[in-house]
Amino acid sequence: MSFFGFLTKKKFYIYLFSSIVLTAAIFFMILQLLKWYTNHGKTYVVPDFYGHTIDELKDQQYDKIFEFVVIDSLFDPGNKKEAIVMQNPIPGSHVKKDRKVYVTVVAKKPEKVQMPNLVDLTLRQAINMLHSKGLKLNRLEYVEDFAENAVLEQIYDDALIEPGTEIEKGSRINLVLGLGRNKKVPVPFLIGLTRNDAVDAINRSSFNTGGIYHLDGQHPVHSRVYKQDPDWSQGKFLHRGKNISIWLRSDKSYDFDALIESYQPDTSSVDTSIYALPEEF
């Protein structure tokens, strides 16, 4: 038999065909197993989990689709404890089943900070220091003292608080300040400011915030001061420590540029240094 004589044998072609079929069958089975293992062609849209706890998501059986991994926690007084405030992948992403979702949640226990020493600082310096520590200004109280607008006492929970005392981040601090000679100061121009900027401007001008009224819902960006009481006018002064109330409307439905222009003859004398930098959202 010649070297290639087997090519003329029927058995050779039977074996060749059988091996091709067997190889194709094995290849097909491998593909099916890969599809089953990787959920080929099937994806899930990642919902927005903001404000929900992982336990709540488990009750809704989201843990059957996603694997939640907590990577960080932070203090957020505006949200409930253990609520999700950040996530990756972001909402709307398409992912496979059992995809890990990395989340940042609200800490169970508020972060502690040390109370700074505000005594002898000016009001503006004290406010800046409070902000840098994550603390908030609550109320201003003025007493007869030659140290004009200087901090005389710092009070927390109706008692003097010593520098270095550990308190919860976000706590509100009262300040006692000296009246000095200038017991009356100009009323700040608040029209068009956001709520937070208006409150900051009121405090930096040596006043307290009175009522805050939202006329058409609350929005951190679009709600702006539509009215203030006492109203602003050139040459209007008020005793330090008095209340200033504000009313807010949405700039989507109201022309604030025209409102600001109506405060004539001139708003160029407004002390813009009292205004805080715009918040980022």
19 assigned to some structural domain: no
Angle of CA points 151, 129, 169, to nearest 5°: 110
Q: List Cβ neighbours of 265 (8 Å cut-off, separation of 6 or more).
A: 234
Domain that holds residue 170: 112-182
25 assigned to some structural domain: no
pLDDT at 33 over 60: yes
Q: Verify that 189 and 279 share a domain, yes or no.
A: yes
- Strands ordered across the beta sheet of 151-156: 136-148, 172-178, 151-156, 159-160
The string of DSSP letters for 22-54 reads HHHHHHHHHHHHHHHHHTTT--EEPP--TT--H
Mean pLDDT score, 112-122: 96
Strand 243-250 with 208-214, pairing: parallel
Q: Verify that 78 and 126 share a domain, yes or no.
A: no
DSSP state of 277: P
Amino acid at 22: L
Environment class of 205 (CB within 10 Å of its CB; exposed 0-12, middle 13-18, buried 19+): buried
CATH at 97: 3.30.10.20
What pLDDT sits at residue 124? 96
pLDDT at 23 over 90: no
Domain end among 142, 167, 182: 182
Write out the two tokens for 202.
Answer: 């009121």
Grade residue 111 by pLDDT with cuts at 50, 70 and 90: confident
Q: Is the pTM of this model over 0.75?
A: no
Domain count, the chain: 3
Q: Verify that 205 and 274 share a domain, yes or no.
A: yes
207 assigned to some structural domain: yes
Q: Identify the residue with better confidence: 42 or 10.
A: 42
Mean pLDDT score, 234-238: 89
Q: Verify that 121 and 132 share a domain, yes or no.
A: yes
Q: Verify that 118 and 199 share a domain, yes or no.
A: no
